[in-house]
Structure 1
Amino acid sequence: MALIPSTESRLAGPVRVVGAGLLGTSVGLGLRARGIDVFLADASPTNVSIATDLGAGRPAAPGDAPQLIVVAVPPDVTADVVARELADYPDAIVTDVASVKLQILDTLIARGADVSRYIGSHPMAGRERGGPLAGRADLFVGRPWVVAGHDAISYKRASAIDDMILDLGATLVEMSAEEHDRGVALISHVPQVVSSLMARRLIDAPSASVNLAGQGLRDVTRVAASDPELWVQILGANSAPVREILTAYREDLDRFIDALDDVNAPGARRRVAEEIAGGNTGVARLPGKHGIDKRFATMIVMVDDTPGQLARLLHEIGEIGVNLEDLRLEHAQGVQVGLAEISVVPEAVERLTTELVARGWRIAG
């Protein structure tokens, strides 16, 4: 298991983690790597036991006096748990890591909870698997972690949360709860809906069609395997901005469908081209490696599906002196070969192609 290098922590006191699933266990593992005392609590004693055995902390006990409490439970019970923690630990600062923020804050205010000691946060990190066994100390390293500030808590009081985020190697991002929820609706929640609906089209598709699937379909449907129960909670808590974006997306689809009704009609092909080009412009805004908005060139190398071949390719790219910016691997249909799509800076493509071919590699396309 990869760990964050143990260096002096910014946090001054112990941390209580409520919810020993993927995120809670990962928080515990990362903080323990910094030498912080972590208390673990969960409705499931088994989760606490597993997380404890993994080294994420020790079971919570009466008399614990945490400096900071991290609530890592499902969104539909987050407000209840935060309110209870605020009442039970009047000297602690409380945060949560739920993927929606405004509904939780509004609920706490409506209940009269002491939100002068609460500030919501959200690490933009996760894995396909959940539960304590999926926890990793380095899960948050280099990932954005939003802190959703509000007027009832001072910067000084909230500093413990900032310290924890920096201790875990994440990048601190400050937003309001409303800004956060609108942001994740666009970059996470709507893509989940679109991915799931596209994947649903595969249920009754002929096997011959499904067998043609390549990387494009896999990219679009990658997140469609997500937990339905969790997404019902997330989408229910953030329904307004998600609905707004989906409505605009429906209008985009209607324009596209209208153009396809008669592709020979005046302006129809231009409209299709403009919609596709709009996608080019949008994807160009996505930050790449190290958060830099920079486009890379891609090339596809054919890799025999035998042990050690992919490792050899990566080693030889390093020997050639080219920095690998990204890598995706796809298996070709019907043959024992993989297609390694590698991304490099454009000026390196010609030299890398020449060098790899000279070393016996086959370049596809």
Structure 2
Amino acid sequence: MDSAAVVGTGLIGTSIALALRGRGVATYLIDTDQEAARVAAGLGAGIAGPPRGPVDLAVLAVPPQQVAAALKEHQLRGLADDFTDAASVKEPPQLEAARLGCDLARFVGGHPMGGREQSGPLAARDDLFHGRPWVLTPSALTRPQTLERAERLAELCGARPVVMAHAEHDRAVALTSHTPHLVSTLLAARLLHGERSQLGLAGQGLQDVTRLAGGSAELWTDILGSNAVAVADVLADFAHDVDDAVEVLRGLSTAREPEQRRTHLEALSTVLVRGVQGRARLPARGGTGAPSTSTAYAAAPRGA
């Protein structure tokens, strides 16, 4: 691949562009926020503005609900021979692209599994995707060349291409990324009810658990809204677990007989052990690292 265009110069788009430029790919930066594109260009991510002719591959680094419209727009403009995206939800954009009449033979969904809580081009890194999975979701219409170029994109960014079905991907990220973000946010929101004297006792553990809550509310509204059913399913199961834990703790607070207390303590221990066991299932954070729980595109969701 000799040339590429990146539409959307937030964290993800600029990080992709930096990686491509580092591998000698002529890269063009397109954003409705021209200042963001200029900032990315100033970082060495490429040339701000569209190319004179079609590039090999265009990457749509915009939020999920903007992917289909951006694909339609830039296919009509002849921006690239092939197209992919970087959104964290895959099935709804694919269905919307079909509804809009996009050329699906020249498009393959993509999701680089890397990110940070910060947003915007200044947070970008050329090694953001090193060793990370990069999910690709070809449809029955996707031509082989398009998939090959998207795989090459992932490799140029230091990532590992992983092919999945659209719905399979969305269920996976609901469990590993989207619900964790929402749970972190819900817990962080409880701090609004805390006294200053209580919050003054907070340690690193609370910082770690609520770290994801610092992401853009506007962006995450788009992401969670695009994957609502899968997230709701995971969150409902989580709510059942929370209810069970509440029942155990209430039981401990009222237990008077030693046998009752022992039963509740055993149940509480089971809750904690299951957490230890679940966490142990995550791959090591190296070449087979688990998917990141943060995704950012631009400082705020914007069209291409």
Give me the TM-score of the superposition, normalised by structure 2: 0.88
Q: Deviations over 1:233-255 (max 9, x none)?
A: 00100000100011111111111
Counterpart amino acid of residue 163 in structure 1: R
State yes or no: 1:271 paired with 2:260. no
Deviating more after overlay: 231-240 vs 271-280: 271-280
Shift in Å, 1:88: 2.1
State yes or no: 1:87 paired with 2:76. yes
Alignment partner of 2:250 out of 252, 261, 280 = 261
Shift in Å, 1:99: 0.9
Structure 1: state its 5+ residue gaps: 1-10, 294-365
- In structure 2, the residue corresponding to 1:122 is in which secondary structure? strand
State yes or no: 1:123 paired with 2:112. yes
Contact 2:68 2:100 in 1 (8 A): no
**What are the residue-to-residue correspondences of 1:152-301 with 2, within 5 Å?**
152-263=141-252, 264=255, 265=260, 267-291=263-287
Q: Distance in 1 between matches of 2:181 and 2:50?
A: 39
**Structure-2 change in CA distance of 1:172 and 1:292 (3 Å):** closer
Contact 1:101 1:180 in 2 (8 A): yes
Q: Deviations over 1:249-273 (max 9, x none)?
A: 1111111111222223373222211
**Structure-2 change in CA distance of 1:199 and 1:41 (3 Å):** same
More helix by percentage: 2
**Which structure would you say has the larger Rg?**
1
Q: Distance in 1 between matches of 2:105 and 2:201?
A: 56
Shift in Å, 1:214: 1.9
Counterpart amino acid of residue 254 in structure 1: D
Q: Distance in 2 between matches of 1:108 and 1:205?
A: 45
Q: Deviations over 1:81-107 (max 9, x none)?
A: 012122222861100101111100011
* Structure 2 residue aligned with 1:102: 91
Q: Deviations over 1:302-331 (max 9, x none)?
A: xxxxxxxxxxxxxxxxxxxxxxxxxxxxxx
- In structure 2, the residue corresponding to 1:127 is in which secondary structure? coil
Structure 2: state its 5+ residue gaps: 290-304
Counterpart amino acid of residue 223 in structure 1: L
Alignment partner of 1:55 out of 29, 32, 44 = 44
Q: Distance in 1 between matches of 2:11 and 2:175?
A: 24
Shift in Å, 1:174: 1.4
Shift in Å, 1:156: 3.5
* Structure 2 residue aligned with 1:34: 23
Deviating more after overlay: 273-282 vs 126-135: 126-135
Contact 1:121 1:145 in 2 (8 A): yes
- Report the number of matched residues: 282
Shift in Å, 1:207: 2.1
Shift in Å, 1:180: 0.9
Q: Distance in 1 between matches of 2:200 and 2:48?
A: 49
Question: Cα RMSD between the aligned structures?
Answer: 1.7
Q: Distance in 2 between matches of 1:292 and 1:51?
A: 29
Q: Distance in 2 between matches of 1:254 and 1:81?
A: 43
**What are the residue-to-residue correspondences of 1:289-328 with 2, within 5 Å?**
289-291=285-287
- In structure 2, the residue corresponding to 1:262 is in which secondary structure? helix
Q: Distance in 1 between matches of 2:65 and 2:271?
A: 38
- In structure 1, the residue corresponding to 2:55 is in which secondary structure? coil
**Structure-2 change in CA distance of 1:91 and 1:188 (3 Å):** closer
**More relative contact order, 1 or 2 (CA 8 Å, 6+ apart):** 2
Which segments of structure 1 move beyond 6 Å, counting only runs of 4 or more? none
**Structure-2 change in CA distance of 1:48 and 1:240 (3 Å):** same
Contact 2:5 2:50 in 1 (8 A): no
Q: Distance in 2 between matches of 1:46 and 1:90?
A: 21
Q: Distance in 1 between matches of 2:288 and 2:33?
A: 42
Q: Distance in 2 between matches of 1:201 and 1:222?
A: 14
**Structure-2 change in CA distance of 1:66 and 1:90 (3 Å):** closer
Q: Distance in 1 between matches of 2:185 and 2:60?
A: 28
**Structure-2 change in CA distance of 1:292 and 1:168 (3 Å):** closer
